[in-house]
């Protein structure tokens, strides 16, 4: 399944999928991909405002395509909303197939809500700029 990549020219992160991340079916564990989604959301949140962040919610993640060893995942982050103490980031995940590098398949999307925290791990206002 091909899908247009986000307008952002660069992904928040890119990573090569390694054999250690495979499940018994020979595809990459969903939890590994969820971890990368979390990291990409953090990178985008920090781009908007420099704070410490914790993930509060990751909305429905549906895997549309499998990811294989050797695929290169590109995760794009886009800020959807900035609230008083939280930021909502949309993350799009694409896999460039190792055997056909010109083919990028749309793996999944996620909406991640992160909260800015202070030194006492309490919510703190987000200051942009």
What is the arithmetic mean of pLDDT over 2-31? 85
126: pLDDT strictly greater than 90 = yes
What is the band of 3 on the pLDDT scale with cuts at 50, 70, 90?
A: low
124 domain residue, yes or no: no
126 domain residue, yes or no: no
For the chain, the domain total comes to: 1
64 domain residue, yes or no: yes
4 domain residue, yes or no: no
Residue 40 lies in domain: 13-117
24 domain residue, yes or no: yes
Q: Where are the beta strands (DSSP E) in the chain?
A: 13-16, 52-58, 72-82, 86-96, 104-117
- For residue 55, give the CATH number of its domain: 3.10.129.10
CB atoms within 10 A of CB 124: 16
Q: In what order do the strands lie in the sheet with 52-58?
A: 13-16, 72-82, 86-96, 104-117, 52-58
């Amino acid at each position: 399944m091909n899908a247009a990549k986000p307008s952002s020219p660069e992904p928040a992160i890119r990573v090569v999928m390694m054999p250690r991340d495979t499940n018994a079916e020979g595809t990459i564990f969903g939890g590994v991909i969820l971890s990368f989604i979390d990291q990409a959301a953090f990178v985008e949140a920090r781009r908007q405002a420099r704070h410490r962040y914790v993930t509060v919610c990751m909305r429905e993640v549906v895997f549309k395509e499998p990811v294989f060893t050797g695929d290169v995942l590109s995760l794009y982050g886009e800020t959807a909303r900035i609230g008083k103490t939280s930021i909502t980031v949309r993350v799009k995940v694409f896999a460039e197939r190792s055997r056909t590098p010109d083919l990028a398949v749309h793996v999944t999307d996620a909406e991640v809500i992160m909260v800015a925290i202070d030194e006492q791990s309490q919510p703190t206002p987000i200051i942009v700029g």
